[in-house]
Structure 1
Amino acid sequence: MSTAQVHPSAIIEEGAQLGDGCIIGPLCCVGSEVKLGDRVELKSHVVVTGNTEIGDDTVIFNFSVIGEIPQDLKFGGEKTRLVIGQRNRIREHVTINTGTDGGGGVTRIGDDCLLMAGVHVAHDVQIGNRVIMVNHAGAAGHCIVGDDAIIGGLSGLHQFVRVGQGAIIGALTMVPNDVIPYGLVQAPRGELDGLNLVGLKRRGVSREDISELRAAFNELAKGEGTFLERARKASEESDSEYVRRITEFILGVSDRSFLTPK
């Protein structure tokens, strides 16, 4: 703690570990099982509690509560964890809960994410890298959010929903089922309305791969047979890595059904 800057009004419980260059602002509370990486900054009035690990260069803004127990009536006080990666920006009034024994015991957030004001991340959620959750979006228990996904403001993910890599959820959307990688979802009761073409182009995906993705999406939307049969056919007809990610996602194990193309 020798190189950490701790405001006199902050409370650091015995046992907490603060990395080099941490900045702990006014009226923050850091629990005894918390481990902060190097250069983590807590702005002010931030509570970090529970068995929580936060990676280097993460900044947490005012009035966030990180690592509290799950909002799950089955939770019986068991020892579970929260692991947050590096270089995340966690804005005002964000709440993130630890895991539950029934869900694997760990809530996890990757690197370089932006959680905007009022976001809620529930127990056992697994969030990848470079994910953006816009103001007051929420992920219910056990959700999985892939790398580079964007969850629009005031949107909600149902328990156990998976959101694939590079997908985008529009604002004011309830997402009751899984979203394929690179999918575009909008409407109050989420509908799969196409591909996240803007996101693909911004990440420099080639025209050839985008064309392959469009062809695969058309097969999923208009092909013959069940949705799973269409996914198998799309997989057989394309060598694109991006198409493979979609088909593997569909053909993998899930606790929910899928949002399917209109």
Structure 2
Amino acid sequence: MATLQRLFSETLHEDNNHRTAELYNEATEDYEFWSRDFNMHFGYYNPSRNNPFMRDTMLNEMNRQVYKRIGDSKLICDLGCGMGGTMKYGLERNKELRVLGVTLSEFQATEGNKRLTGLNGLILKEDYNNTTFSDNTFDSAMAIESFCHAGHSEASFKEAYRILKNGGKMVITDAFLKKEIKNLCPGGSYCYKGLCNGWSLEKLGNIPEVKRTLERIGFKDIIIEDISLRVAPSVLHVPFVISGFLLKKILKNQEIGKQSIQNLKGSFYALLSGIQMNNFGYYIITCTK
């Protein structure tokens, strides 16, 4: 850990960054109800490995799929790492691996590092659009449902490109639009606004434009996989998790915080968005510098 700290000794969207940090500072405990491993993302259903009724197996399968696409990398940056759930998954399975994570949330950095004790990983409180890392530092980078908070912006992709070594891979897993916002149907537009407001998302990129942006920056060998049907079984857990969380709060006579309410709203709209496959999709993007 000390070695890592020695080695890695004005944001573009400050208002949204503040709201994102506030969301995760106050509502991260909600995610423990979603995942005991603090996997703050949806899952990947692999019928040969997962039980669709056991959510954490699917969430960890998403982690496995990301590391599988990253390949044989020794130094990885997790851009928007949350509580370090994906970091911990990889570090526990590969003792030669080193992972640096960045998050806007002070709470996530502090508590996440406690969970990484004894592992070769470190979480820093930084903005993934403007990190302090040197050029050409990392073998690979990953962004799991994090770049959406900055609207899948060119700035995010450029920063990832900058800190990657030549030949380094970037893997993004996230929900995207399949068309421009102005072309969404009324129902799609309603769900989209609810999703962005609930989860403090600046916007969702649309897949054709995202690919063009990655190419313009210089990424090559861009592979875009639509895994919406693989993700659907974990999305279907959302109404049961929301109901269980609310029931728990009611039985314990606990107040539901403002950010928790926003988080629950975002989860609800994620479910509604997930069934509109003409407007929304969930993808894994793999590309190389």
TM-score, structure 1 normalization: 0.26
> Which structure shows the higher helix fraction?
2
Q: RCO (CA 8 Å, sep 6+): is it higher in 1 or 2?
A: 2
> Which structure shows the higher strand fraction?
1
Pair member with larger Rg: 1
